[in-house]
Amino acid sequence: MGGGRAVQKPIEIVVYGAEQICASCVHLPSSKDTFEWLTAALERKFPHQPFKMTYVDIYDPPEDKEKKSFASRVIEEELFYPVVLVEGKMVGEGNPRLKVICEEMEKYGYKAP
């Protein structure tokens, strides 16, 4: 096998957003649209390399303590959403860039063909 490390376990990418578009992001796609676009783009970029995509509505977060806590942070700190986290590290806010997200995934062993 080639150099670099292979994906050990599927990482989790979490997109935090809301139904309503962020006031500073009116010209951008909705959080849900961004989530769907990002999922499709990453599946194309890293085929046959599993990862978990999770969408969290900041106004209706799941019971998961970490996700609930970060959803509150998005609201309290008035972060531009959608906010994208890769394994807990914030890599995008408002208008997340695919390149930055891919670079973070590569640190976990993901490789583009």
Question: What is the homologous superfamily of the domain 12-106 according to CATH?
Answer: Hypothetical protein sa0798. (3.40.30.30)
Give the model's pLDDT for residue 6: 66
pLDDT tens per residue, range 26-82: 677 889 999 999 999 999 999 999 999 999 999 999 999 999 999 999 999 999 899
DSSP 29: P
What pLDDT does 26 receive?
66
What's the pLDDT tens digit per position in 87-105? 999 999 988 999 999 999 9
- The answer to whether residues 92 and 101 touch, using CB atoms and an 8 Å cutoff, is yes
How is the chain split into domains, by residue range? 12-106
| Closest CA relative to residue 38, chosen from 110, 102, 113 | 102
